[in-house]
C-alpha cells in the first residue's frame, strides 16, 4: 500500500492525520459551506451587513421563496422530463451497439467503435448550428423532446464505449456454446448477455443521469422559456433576476444541485465504478 499506512506511524503522526483530515475537508468545501449558510440566512442579515457571522435565525423561508417567486418547480420538473427519457434511451441504444461491437467480428468494427469514441470528444460548438437547425426543422425547438433526442444521440457515444468494453470482459465461451446449440442471436442478447450487464446498466444510468441533469449548453441552445427549460438554464435566468438576493440564489443553487447529489450518495459504488472505468487497466 502506498503511502505507508498511517497506523504504522507514531502517535504524533496519527493524531496529526486525524486533525488534518477535517481541516483540509473544510478548506476544500469552504465555498460550498459558505453558500449553504447564505441560503439559510434571513434577508435582513444581508441588509445589515452580517455576511459571515452566525445567521440571526435559520431562514428556511428562503427555500419557500425560491419556489414561490420563480418557476423553480417547473424547471425541476422539466429537468426530470428531459433526464429520465434521455437516460433510458441512451442506455438502451448502447446495450445494442455495445453488444454488436463486442461480440461480432466484422471489418469495420474497430472503425465504428472509434467513431463513437471520437464523436464523444468533439466540442459542442461544432454541432451547435446544425443541431439547432435540425431541431427547428423538426418543430422540436423549445420542447423537451428536442433536448431528449439530442442527449440520447450524444450520450450513446460514451455509453457505447462503456458497454462494449464491459461486454468484452464477459466470459465469451458462454456465448459460443449458446451459438453451437443454435440459439438465435437475439435470444443470446436478451437471455444471456443482458442479465449479465446489470451492473453496467446501473453504473451508466447514474452517470448519464448526472451528465444530462447538469447540462447547460444544450438547454441554452435548444430551449427558450420556462416551458421546456431545465433547472440549469433556469438558474441562469434567476441569477439575472435576483441580482443582490444572494440568499435566494444560494437556495436555488442548492435545490438544483440536490437530485444528482442524492443520486451520487445513493448509488455511489456504481457511480465511481462507471467513472473510473479503465483507470486500472488499458
Q: Which grid cell is 269? A: 459504488
Q: Does 142 bind another protein (CB under 8 A)?
A: no
Point out which span in 58-66, 170-178, 194-202, 253-261 binds another protein (CB under 8 A). Answer: 253-261
Q: Nearest approach, Cβ of 114 to another protein (angstroms)?
A: 6
Helices 268-275, 246-266: crossing angle, 10 deg rounding: 90
Q: Nearest approach, Cβ of 67 to another protein (angstroms)?
A: 17
Q: Does 16 bind another protein (CB under 8 A)?
A: no
Q: Does 172 bind another protein (CB under 8 A)?
A: no
Task: Select the residue interacting with another protein from 62, 83, 223, 250 (CB under 8 A).
Answer: 250
Task: Select the residue interacting with another protein from 84, 93, 170, 201 (CB under 8 A).
Answer: 93
Task: Specify the long-range contacts of residues 270-278, CB closer than 8 Å, at least 24 apart.
Answer: 270/199, 270/202, 270/203, 270/205, 270/206, 271/203, 271/206, 271/207, 271/210, 273/199, 273/203, 274/162, 274/203, 274/204, 274/206, 274/207, 275/207, 277/162, 277/165, 277/203, 278/165
Task: Select the residue interacting with another protein from 59, 72, 82, 101 (CB under 8 A).
Answer: 101
Single out the residue of 91, 89, 113 nearest to residue 102, CA to CA.
113
Per-residue x/- track, 34-63, another protein (CB under 8 A): xx--x-------x----xx-----------
Point out which span in 54-62, 65-73, 91-99, 170-178 binds another protein (CB under 8 A). Answer: 91-99
| Interaction residues for another protein, span 104-123 (CB under 8 A) | 104, 106, 109-110, 112, 114-119, 121-123
| Interaction residues for another protein, span 180-199 (CB under 8 A) | 184-186, 189
Listed in sequence order, the DSSP H helices in 70-216 are 72-103, 109-119, 125-137, 144-168, 172-180, 185-187, 194-196, 198-213
Amino acid at each position: 500500500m502506498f503511502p505507508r499506512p498511517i497506523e504504522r506511524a507514531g502517535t504524533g503522526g496519527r493524531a496529526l492525520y486525524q486533525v488534518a483530515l477535517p481541516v483540509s475537508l473544510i478548506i476544500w468545501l469552504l465555498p460550498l459551506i459558505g453558500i449553504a449558510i447564505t441560503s439559510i440566512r434571513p434577508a435582513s442579515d444581508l441588509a445589515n451587513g452580517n455576511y459571515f457571522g452566525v445567521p440571526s435565525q435559520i431562514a428556511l423561508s428562503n427555500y419557500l421563496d425560491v419556489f414561490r417567486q420563480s418557476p423553480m418547480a417547473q424547471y425541476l420538473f422539466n429537468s426530470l422530463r428531459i433526464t429520465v427519457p434521455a437516460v433510458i434511451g441512451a442506455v438502451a441504444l448502447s446495450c445494442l451497439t455495445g453488444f454488436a461491437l463486442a461480440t461480432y467480428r466484422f471489418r469495420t468494427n474497430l472503425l465504428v467503435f472509434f467513431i463513437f469514441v471520437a464523436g464523444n470528444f468533439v466540442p459542442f460548438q461544432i454541432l451547435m448550428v446544425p443541431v439547432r437547425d435540425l431541431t427547428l426543422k423538426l418543430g422540436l425547438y423549445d420542447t423537451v423532446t428536442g433536448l431528449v433526442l439530442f442527449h440520447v444521440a450524444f450520450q450513446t457515444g460514451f455509453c457505447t464505449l462503456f458497454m462494449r468494453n464491459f461486454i468484452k470482459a464477459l466470459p465469451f465461451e458462454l456465448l459460443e456454446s449458446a451459438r453451437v446449440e443454435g440459439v438465435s442471436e437475439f435470444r443470446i442478447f436478451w437471455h444471456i448477455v443482458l442479465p449479465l450487464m446489470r451492473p453496467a446498466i446501473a453504473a451508466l444510468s447514474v452517470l448519464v443521469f448526472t451528465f444530462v441533469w447538469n447540462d447547460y449548453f444544450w438547454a441554452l441552445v435548444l430551449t427558450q422559456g420556462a416551458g421546456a427549460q431545465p433547472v440549469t438554464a433556469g438558474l441562469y435566468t434567476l441569477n439575472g433576476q435576483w441580482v443582490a438576493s444572494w440568499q435566494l440564489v444560494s437556495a436555488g443553487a442548492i435545490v438544483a444541485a440536490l437530485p444528482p447529489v442524492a443520486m451520487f450518495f445513493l448509488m455511489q459504488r456504481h457511480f465511481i465504478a462507471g467513472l473510473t472505468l479503465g483507470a486500472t487497466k488499458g
